[in-house]
Structure 1
Amino acid sequence: MKKRQNVIIKGTKDGLTLHLDDSCSYQDLKRELDLKLSANTRANGENQLIPVHVQLGNRYLSEEQKEEIKALIRQKKNLVVDKIDSNVLTKEEAESIRGKAEVLTVARIIRSGQILEVPGDLLLVGDVNPGGTVRAGGNIFIMGALKGIAHAGCGGDEQAIIAASSMKPSQLRISDCINRAPDIVESEEKHEMECAYIDDNRQIVVDRLQGLIHLRPNLTRLED
C-alpha cells in the first residue's frame, strides 16, 4: 500500500504551495515537512527568495505553532513564507466576520465632538450634527440630516456608499477618498434622499438614491 503523504509541494509561477495534511499529528507533519523541504531546496539550488504559500486545510494551528512552521521553512535558506491559509476560523475571527456582515441600527443624535463607529453597515435613525462623526466598515444609511463627517468603507471598501435623508456634510469619506462638500444654498435645498459613492474616476459623487440600484446591484440582500 502506498504511504500517505502528509506534505505535498507544488511549484507555481508565484513560488511554492505546501499542502499540509489535516489528519496526521502535528509532530509527524513537522518531521515530514522538514525532510521534504530540505530535499526540495537542494534540488533547486537557487539563490533568489521563493515565496511559500502554506495551506492547512481543516487543521487549526495556534499562533505559536504557525511561528514554528514559519521558522522551519525559513531555515531552508531561499524560502520565505508568504501566507498561511486555513479553513478553520477562531471564535474571534468568526465574530469579526459576523460583525462586518451585520447592519447595526442606532437611534440617536451624533452631536459635535461625538464619534460613532461600527465594524459593518450602519443605519442611523437621527442626525449627525456639525462636528459629529460616523464611521463604518461598510455602508452608512442616515435617516436624518448629515451635517458632520461620514466615513464609509473604513477598511478599504471602495464599493461602500453613504446615504442620507438630508445630505449636508462637512466632509464625506469612502475608503481613502475624501470629498469636502460645497456650501448648500438654502433655496436649492433638496427634499429627497441622496447617496454618495466612488465613481469610475475614483471621485466621490452625490446623486439621487434611486440610481443606486444600477451602480451597486449587490447592495441589497433582498430578492423579489
Structure 2
Amino acid sequence: MKRTQNVTIKGTKEGITLHLDDSCSYQELKRELDQKLSANSRTNEGQPLTSVKVQMGNRFLTDDQHEEIKELIRQKKNLVVDEIISNVMTIEEAQRLKAENEIVSVSRIIRSGQILEVPGDLLLVGDVNPGGTVKAGGNIFILGTLKGIAHAGCYGDDDAVITASVMNPQQLRISECINRAPDQKSDNEARLLECALIDENRQIVVDRLQVLMQLRPNLTKLEGGR
C-alpha cells in the first residue's frame, strides 16, 4: 500500500508552496518536512533565495509551533518564509474579525474633546461637534451634522467612506489620507447628504451621497436591493 505524502511541494511563479497534511501528527509532519526540504536544498545550492508559502489546511498551530515551522524552513540555505496560512483561527481572532465586520450603532452627541472609536462600521445617530472625533476601522455613517473630525478606515481600509446628513467637518481622514481643514460653511450653506471617499488620485473628495452606488457598489452586504 502506497504511503500518503504528508508534505507536497509545488513550484509557482512567486516561489514554492508547501501543502502540509492536517491529519497526521505534528511530529511526523515536522520530520517529513525536514527530510524533503533538506533534499530540495541540496539540489538548489548556490541559487538565490526562494519565497515559501505554507498551506496548513485545517491544522491549528500554537505560537511555538508556528515559529518551529518557520525556523525549520529558514534553516535551509535558500528558503525564506513568506507566509503560513491556516483555515483555523483562535476564538480571539474570530471575535476580532466579527467586530471589524459589524456595524456599531450609537445614539449620542460627540462633544469637544470626546473620541468615539469602533473596530468596524459606525452608525452615529447624533452630531459631532467641533473638537469631537469619531474613528472607525470601516465606514462612518452620521445621521446628524459632522462639524468635528471623522477618520474612517483607520486600520488601512482605502475603500472606507464617510457620510453625513450635514457635512461641515474640521477634518476628514480615510485610511492614511488626510484632507486639509476646509473652509467652514454656515449651517445654511452646508449641503445635505454628502459622502467623502478616496478617489483614483488618492485624494479625499466630497460628493453627493448618490455617487456611492457607482463608486462603492459593494458598500452594503444586502443583495438584490431587498
Structure 2 length normalisation: TM-score? 0.95
Distance 1:74 1:208 in 2: 53
Q: Who is 2:145 aligned against?
A: 145
1:47 Cα deviation after fit: 4.1
1:110 Cα deviation after fit: 1.1
Give the aligned residue type for 1:34. Answer: D
Q: How does 1:9-24 map to 2 (within 5 A)?
A: 9-24=9-24
Distance 2:210 2:72 in 1: 56
Distance 1:155 1:33 in 2: 36
SS of the equivalent of 1:41 reads: helix
Q: Report if aligned partners of 2:41, 2:76 keep a CA contact under 8 Å in 1.
A: yes
Q: Report if aligned partners of 1:104, 1:122 keep a CA contact under 8 Å in 2.
A: yes
Distance 1:181 1:5 in 2: 61
Q: Who is 1:186 aligned against?
A: 186
Point out where structure 1 has 5 or more consecutive residues left out of the alignment: none
Distance 1:32 1:74 in 2: 16
Give the aligned residue type for 2:118. Answer: V
Q: Report if aligned partners of 1:168, 1:181 keep a CA contact under 8 Å in 2.
A: no
Q: Who is 1:110 aligned against?
A: 110
- Residues 95-136 of structure 1, C-alpha deviation per residue, up to 9 Å, x if partnerless? 111111110001111111111111110001111111111110
Distance 1:15 1:191 in 2: 53
Q: Who is 1:156 aligned against?
A: 156
Distance 2:118 2:219 in 1: 18
1:186 Cα deviation after fit: 2.6
Q: Who is 2:127 aligned against?
A: 127
Q: Percent sequence identity over matched residues?
A: 70
Distance 1:169 1:117 in 2: 17
Q: How does 1:1-224 map to 2 (within 5 A)?
A: 1-186=1-186, 189-222=189-222, 223-224=225-226
- Once the two structures are overlaid, the 10-residue window that deviates more, 191-200 or 131-140, is 191-200
SS of the equivalent of 1:184 reads: coil
Distance 2:163 2:16 in 1: 45
Moved over 6 A (4+): none
SS of the equivalent of 1:34 reads: helix
Report the RMSD for the aligned CA atoms in angstroms.
Answer: 1.3
Distance 1:182 1:61 in 2: 50
1:191 Cα deviation after fit: 4.9
SS of the equivalent of 1:44 reads: coil
- Residues 176-200 of structure 1, C-alpha deviation per residue, up to 9 Å, x if partnerless? 1111242234386145211111112
- Residues 122-154 of structure 1, C-alpha deviation per residue, up to 9 Å, x if partnerless? 001111111111110110001111111100011
Distance 1:82 1:196 in 2: 36
Give the aligned residue type for 1:105. Answer: S
Distance 2:6 2:114 in 1: 54
**CA separation of 1:166 and 1:187: change in aligned 2, threshold 3 A:** closer
**CA separation of 1:63 and 1:26: change in aligned 2, threshold 3 A:** same
Structure 1 length normalisation: TM-score? 0.96
- Once the two structures are overlaid, the 10-residue window that deviates more, 80-89 or 204-213, is 204-213
